[in-house]
Each structure stands twice: as C-alpha cells, then as structure tokens.
Amino acid sequence: MGKNNIRKQWDNATEPWVDFVRSHKDYFRDEMNNPTTFELLGDIRKKRVLDLGCGEGYNSRLMAQQGANVTGVDFSKKMISCAHQQEKKEKRGIDYHVLDATNLLTLKDSIFDIVTCFMALQDIENHKGTIRETYRVLKKHGRFVFSIPHPCFEVRIRGGKIIGGWRYGKANRNKQIRTALYYTVDRYFDTRRDIVPWNMKRLIKQFKTTAFHRTLTDYADALYDAGFMISRLKESKPTKRGCARYPKLKLCLRIPHSIIIEAVKP
Ligand SMILES: C[S@@+](CC[C@H](N)C(=O)[O-])C[C@H]1O[C@@H](n2cnc3c(N)ncnc32)[C@H](O)[C@@H]1O
C-alpha cells in the first residue's frame, strides 16, 4: 500500500476520528498520554511549535491555549480542513498546512523551538525522512518530543492471528470482568507495516489505518543519524481519575501503553 492509500485511509477516518477525540472518547489520550507528554513539554509559552501529523488539531489547540505559537501539519486534507474550521470558530492563531511530514517544503530551516508529534510517527511510513526534516526545521538546541505506542508491547496481527497482548483468566461471576493474568510479547524484531482495525464500540464508525512497527533501536538510530541527542524518555501512566473512570486504563499501570521521547538538536 502506497502513501496515497494511507492518506486516503486517514481522510476516510476523519469523521469518526473527530468525534472520538472531541467527545473525549479517547481516554487513553485525556487520562494518560497527554498528561505525561505535556509534563515533559513543560512551559511552552511563547515557544514556536510545529505539531507534525496534527490530525484535526486537538493537541495543537491545547498547546496554543498554553501560550505556544503553533503551526500544525498533516498530509490528510480532510483532517486539516476540520482543524481550520475549528480555528475559525475559536481563534488561537494556529497556522495549519497540508504537508507530508517527510517533506516540509514550505517551512524554512531552523525556525521552531519545539517539534511535537503526538502518536503519529508510528503511522508515518518514512520515519527517517520525517526525523531528518524535523532536525532541519528546528533551531539549534530545539527539542523534538514525540509519543508512540510502546514498541515493546504493541499487539500485532499476522495472518489474521493476534500476536501478543493480555492473557485473561475466567470471568468474575458477579462482575463479568475477566482477570488479566499476564502479558505476552512476541515478534518484537519483526518490523513491518500493520493494518490497524479501529473497532472500538465507542466509535461512531469503524475504520482501518496503516501503522509501522519499528523497534526502539530503529527510532534511536534514525535520531542519531539525523544528528539528534536523546535527552529524556517517559513511559506514560494513567491518572488516578482515569483509572477510577476507565478500568481498562488500570492495566497500563502494569504494562506501559506508550513511550514519549525527547531529542535535542545540539
Ligand atoms: C493517530 S493520528 C494522530 C493525530 C494527532 N497527532 C492527535 O494526536 O490527535 C495520526 C495522524 O498522522 C497523520 N499522518 C500519517 N502519515 C503522515 C505523513 N506522512 N505526513 C503527515 N501526516 C501524516 C494522519 O493523517 C493522522 O492525522
């Protein structure tokens, strides 16, 4: 599947994605990934930030709300059109562009203090090209902060078979909740593209996207080759409130769901 087809998948996913994010159905974001990533980002007031693979702009808006001067880019025209519409409704001075993350043509060298990429680098086919472009547009000492599903614990589907994930015991008679016994991992070094079925019941429409499983070494090598120095790393944990509201999140206190990496342009 080529880049255009991957882009079409995201165009087609825009409507259910917008509802998922804006209706706070994405509780992994609200109660885990965002709190951890924003803590790592720290004070972003007056910083010039590029949000790569910004989607419909939810996190771009959060950063603008915190006082950053934000540019958002995504290769899906539909996603960017939704981001624009929201910007018209509630102006936050965000500048959106339809651009491929691997070719940020219209953005000049060394202009951003921070480049963010929230849960999108795993969906970008050419991670090396994206990381090189990120390096180019960052100022000296600028930071690249990205979150991805934790590559060590990603569930993969091979030939219709689910590889890895929780193994459960019998359902509790009263509550009908199965006890998670332990987590299985396999084929970590088997790097390849995956079709991701977004089939949760809380979506208004199911959709499929393409993602790329890579090892931590693949990401670290690409950062090193581009000239970056990895400075910090966090494995996100859910908030207390999230665990109380969404029992599924409690499992992320046992096995990390995502990882956030900060790399600096020396
Ligand atoms: C899982 S969504 C995350 C969106 C956003 N960062 C958020 O947190 O809501 C992944 C996004 O990456 C975008 N994307 C995938 N490949 C891309 C590429 N080569 N260039 C730019 N955007 C890309 C998709 O269009 C999609 O909007």
pLDDT in tens, 64-102: 999 999 999 999 999 999 999 999 999 999 999 999 999
Q: What is the mean pLDDT of the segment spanning 33-44?
A: 98
Strand ranges (E), 53-191 = 69-74, 95-98, 112-118, 138-149, 156-158, 161-163, 165-171, 178-184
Residues in the chain: 266
The mean pLDDT of 5-15, rounded to a whole number, is 97
Report how far apart, in Å, the C-alpha atoms of 184 and of each of 68, 112, 168 are: 40, 40, 11
Atom of ligand 1 nearest to the CA of 101: 20
Burial of 235 (0-12, 13-18, 19+ CB in 10 A): middle
- Residues near ligand 1 with C-beta < 6 Å? 10, 21, 53-55, 58-59, 74-76, 79, 100-102, 118-120, 123-124
5, 10, 81: residue to mutate for ligand 1 pocket, most atoms within 8 A of CB: 10
CB atoms within 10 A of CB 34: 21
Q: Using 50, 70 and 90 to split pLDDT, how confident is the model at 210?
A: very high
* Joined tokens for residue 119: 């849960």
Reply yes or no on whether the pLDDT at 219 is more than 70: yes
pLDDT for position 12 = 98
- % pLDDT > 70, the chain: 97
pLDDT tens-digit profile of 132-188? 999 999 999 999 999 999 999 998 877 778 889 999 987 766 665 678 999 999 999
Greater pLDDT, 195 or 30: 30
CA 185 remoteness from chain centre: 21
Q: Kindly tell me if the per-residue pLDDT of 117 is higher than 80.
A: yes
Residue 106's pLDDT is what?
A: 94
Ramachandran region of residue 176, left (φ > 0), alpha (ψ -120 to 50) or beta? Answer: left
